[in-house]
Structure 1
Amino acid sequence: MANTSINSISLKAMVDKASNQIIFVESDNDFIDVIFSFLTIPMGKIIRLTPNQSIRLGVGCLNNVYASVKNMDLKHFRTEACKDMLLSPRSAAESQCKNLKVKIYNDEATQYFMCSLNIANCKFSYCKDLNCDSCGVKINMEKNLLVTPDGGVFVKGLSRLIITDDLQVIPPLTAASLPLLTKLGVMDVNTMEEVTINVGVDEVLNLLMRSLASKTPLTESLLKNKPRRKFCNEYQGINTEPQMVKDKTNLEGTISVKLIVSKSKKMVCYAEAGEDFVNLLLSFLTIPLGFIVKHMGNRSLQGCIDQLYKSVQDLDDQYMMSSYHKEMLLTPKLVPGFCYENHLLGTEEATYYYAGSTGFLSTDRVLLATQTALAPKSISPFAPSAFGRQESAQTSIRPIAFRDPKANHHQHKNAQVQGFLEGPAMFTVTDDLNIRPVSLIYGLSLLNELKVPLTDIYVQTVQVHEEEALRLLVAAFLGDSALTITFIRESEQDKRLNQEQ
């Protein structure tokens, strides 16, 4: 399977002639890597890459959070970099995705920078010209991430797999595919025809969009068929209880929020909250898609991105580049700087390693050690260590600290950054997560728009812990009544438990 052009892949698809629907696509690692990479993309980047498509994306009301950041005055942010980080969040899988055959955000800068002293406790950043906290020198020496030299991404180069219309990825073995074909109602091979399809950036973006909102994304994006179902972001009794992976009794970092609730409609009209709650909402834009799907558990989705996630889980390790790469898809981490102190979602930042003898930078320590050992000693002007002796390939590799661009010049260098917004500040947050600076006039206009009289409202104070934060993330991804679903309406699971009791 050869590329027909730069940033393009040629695919062979089996199509049902009667319905003009893709039954499956057979592909080597090129196309598999592209669709697996969807799980590593932060939500803010997905929304930014598909302008004017948010309503059809199946991202609930996260598009409103994104629009709120765009419209928010820069004075509300700790630093200018904070707004940029939210509008174009970076992925910890950047170095791997540089090898994708179709790059959907190839034009974006992914450079990193270090200070020129290069001593053991110096830091790196993706923002240029910040002062290093350790030595005070400007961080302006560019360092690109180490890329796998053989062009691999997530799946081994010789792997060949099939992808169904709903993004199940399985080996192309007859024993594995027969049950699938039977399930799809394909009984006669004469009803199928082979079709060659060229897949470029537009097709991949369309596939990403439809994977979040359709059960037949391959057909709709690659055969240019019209959607077979209406897209809907309305909450329809979907269980939004998150799949918890941590101790629910952890009560650290509690956030207090005041909800303005309609008695008759049993809905949150809006919330009044401090910058700590809004920081949580803004952080949703930095969360990789795979993290959300992981916490969805077995919940029903409009689209089939959960099928893709499950395919990675079930795929035999023999097809993957390594267990590290599989973990990168199933538990994607954030680029340093996107977490902050008391971040309730339980996300983790990726660890970056630096090889002082070669100047290589990577999140993959095994790859870094291998390439450092193979590299000529003269490749880096920094081969001698800060202490004047030659470093070995192994001893030169170390975790490297990060200079947080959220930290402003008023902040002590060792102080923990609390979030993206300057505080103290208060905000009005609508049920569908539109965010504005607090305003009584705006609040009254919302009540008027909802046709809720003042006599019908009451104020309810809620506490947000990790469980509520994850539930809110899931609700924001699924529907457009995130606050109501999270804090007022019982989930279907809660109802069943109460009935059983």
Structure 2
Amino acid sequence: MENKINLKALVDKGSNKIIFIESGNAFIDVLLSFLTIPLGTIIKLGRKHSAPVEIGCMNNLYSSVEEIDVSELRSDACREMLLLPRNAAESHCKYLVLQIDHNAKPTRYFGCSRCRNQTTKKLFRFNSGGTRCGNCGCCTSGEEIPFSVDVASAFVKERARLLITGDLQLISPFSESIDSLFTNLGVTNRNTTEELNLNIGVDEVVNLLLSSLVSKTALTETLLKHKPVAKLTNENNYQAIHIDPQIVGETVLTEEDNISIKLIVCKSKNIVCYAEAGEDFVNLLFSFLTLPLGFVAKQMQDGSLKGCIDQLYRSVQDLDEQYLKSNHHKEMLLNPKLVPGFCYKNLLGIEEASYYYLDGKLTTDSSLIPSYAPLESYKIEPTDNNSSARGFLKGPAFFTVTDNLVVRPISTILELSVLDKLNVPFTDIEKRVVLMGKKEALSLLMASFDSDSALTNAFISKPYQA
């Protein structure tokens, strides 16, 4: 029997909108887990939706990974890393009352007895026992090492209760901002409201996740079933999105770190028709699928997202120890990290999680380490034969990338067909070579998430500015 969570909602009868819902820790944890989910997982979930959701160019990236020939990949596992990316917070999320991605295989960690005897810190590896250790090559089933996690709740305290507004703001039941909720909706007296009891399951939670990316009234659209989820594309005019230079670092790094791409631009329309690039650029594009949603929300919280996931992110910033279990749990949501081995070049400035071995268990919480002991003495490095540090693709290789991020091995036929569809003659194109550093990589990520013309908006229109 499917688990359900009971929620009590206050609805404005005039507008038929949810003013807020009252919630305990079970649903709050599910909601906060949205920030930890990789974009590739969200695309996969969106495909099962009754009205498939298109998130900028991310769907095209996902399809490109599906369709690329295995001979282009460094290993079969690289495709799975992108299509079924791991969640660095999965040890917390697997105990949620409602499992969004219930088909995902949990990552398991095993100790290698040979490595342990050699007193190296690379004691653990991914996947299941019975395979070779990624560190020493020893074939041993090993001993599974559990994570140290409080199963009573994932991110908030067990008895925490909050109000969740229609646009996913989390507010205290004692907050003065409750009055403004009624004012903004034009609710003048209690007679214009009604209480509803709602039972929600996995389907409703998935719909809420998808709606949070495209709607400012996600709870209403999901729970009162107003209308199907819209597309997240560039149908509306952009506003500039500020990217903090302190976050992204310098634009130009070393020559080795920069990525060079060739843009074929239509001069009269001032758009990118397509790009020609090496495997390093495509590795970066594909790595977008491994990024947690909270990382994107962090970059765009001061911008003009069509949805309200940024409201959820800002709400977590304002929550204190009265509700969250610890500063570590807050950090997991505001600065979500990648699973070790999933970071490519780190042009985007996202970190990999650090793992520590304490009292026979794994943890990512460094505050649990005794203050008298150096962190490095407890830190371990999970080993895996399938690291993305060298990328997902074999090199050298060259690719054609369309403006909406359809990726194919270099193809003159594809390039000609793109020009035909755009009705662009050869006399109206020019080639521009651009170098990508951290700032440009983040701009491209934002454009990929929020636009169906990612190359044009990242390199020509530049609505995403530092």
Q: Normalization by structure 2: what TM-score?
A: 0.91
Map residues 367-382 of structure 1 onto 2, 5 A cutoff.
none
**Equivalents in 2 of 1:55, 1:337: separation in Å?**
34
Give the match for residue 446 of structure 1: 418
Offset of 1:404 from its aligned partner? 3.4
**Equivalents in 1 of 2:58, 2:278: separation in Å?**
19
Provide Cα deviations, 1:161-200, integer angstroms capped at 9, x if missing partner: 1001110110012633112222222111111111110111
Structure 2 residue 290 is matched with structure 1 residue 318: no
* C-alpha contact 1:235 1:479 (8 A) present in aligned 2: no
The one-letter code sitting in structure 1 at the alignment partner of 2:362 is L
The one-letter code sitting in structure 2 at the alignment partner of 1:197 is L
Provide Cα deviations, 1:338-367, integer angstroms capped at 9, x if missing partner: 013x33111110011224x53x22223456
Structure 2 residue 378 is matched with structure 1 residue 398: yes
* C-alpha contact 1:161 1:171 (8 A) present in aligned 2: yes
* C-alpha contact 2:248 2:439 (8 A) present in aligned 1: no
Q: Which of the residues 284, 291, 297 maps onto 1:287?
A: 291
Offset of 1:368 from its aligned partner? 8.1
* C-alpha contact 1:98 1:147 (8 A) present in aligned 2: no
Give the match for residue 203 of structure 1: 204
**Equivalents in 1 of 2:41, 2:398: separation in Å?**
27
Offset of 1:476 from its aligned partner? 0.4
Give the match for residue 487 of structure 1: 459
Shift of the 146–228 alpha-carbon distance from structure 1 to 2, 3 Å rule, reads closer
Offset of 1:233 from its aligned partner? 3.8
Q: Normalization by structure 1: what TM-score?
A: 0.85
Shift of the 351–139 alpha-carbon distance from structure 1 to 2, 3 Å rule, reads farther
The one-letter code sitting in structure 1 at the alignment partner of 2:399 is F
Structure 2 residue 171 is matched with structure 1 residue 191: no
SS at match of 2:250: coil
Offset of 1:302 from its aligned partner? 0.7
* C-alpha contact 2:234 2:450 (8 A) present in aligned 1: yes
Structure 2 residue 403 is matched with structure 1 residue 431: yes
Shift of the 47–271 alpha-carbon distance from structure 1 to 2, 3 Å rule, reads same
Offset of 1:29 from its aligned partner? 1.1
Give the match for residue 56 of structure 2: 60
* C-alpha contact 2:401 2:408 (8 A) present in aligned 1: yes
Shift of the 62–366 alpha-carbon distance from structure 1 to 2, 3 Å rule, reads same
**Equivalents in 2 of 1:108, 1:203: separation in Å?**
18
Larger CA Rg, structure 1 vs 2: 1
**Equivalents in 1 of 2:177, 2:389: separation in Å?**
50
Offset of 1:19 from its aligned partner? 2.6
Offset of 1:317 from its aligned partner? 2.8
Offset of 1:59 from its aligned partner? 2.1
SS at match of 2:34: helix
The one-letter code sitting in structure 2 at the alignment partner of 1:102 is L
Say what the alpha-carbon RMSD is for the aligned residues.
2.6
Offset of 1:469 from its aligned partner? 0.1
Structure 2 residue 351 is matched with structure 1 residue 343: no
Structure 2 residue 30 is matched with structure 1 residue 8: no
SS at match of 1:207: helix
Offset of 1:293 from its aligned partner? 1.0
* C-alpha contact 2:134 2:384 (8 A) present in aligned 1: no
SS at match of 2:378: strand
Shift of the 67–466 alpha-carbon distance from structure 1 to 2, 3 Å rule, reads same
**Structure 1 residues not aligned, in runs of 5+:** 370-392, 408-415, 495-501
% identical aligned pairs: 51
* C-alpha contact 1:33 1:155 (8 A) present in aligned 2: yes
Give the match for residue 86 of structure 2: 90
**Equivalents in 2 of 1:485, 1:215: separation in Å?**
23
**Structure 2 residues not aligned, in runs of 5+:** none
Give the match for residue 179 of structure 2: 178
* C-alpha contact 2:84 2:104 (8 A) present in aligned 1: no
Shift of the 28–330 alpha-carbon distance from structure 1 to 2, 3 Å rule, reads same
- Say which is worse superposed, 137-146 or 465-474, in terms of deviation: 137-146
Offset of 1:54 from its aligned partner? 11
Shift of the 302–58 alpha-carbon distance from structure 1 to 2, 3 Å rule, reads farther
Offset of 1:441 from its aligned partner? 1.4
Shift of the 68–348 alpha-carbon distance from structure 1 to 2, 3 Å rule, reads same
SS at match of 2:162: strand
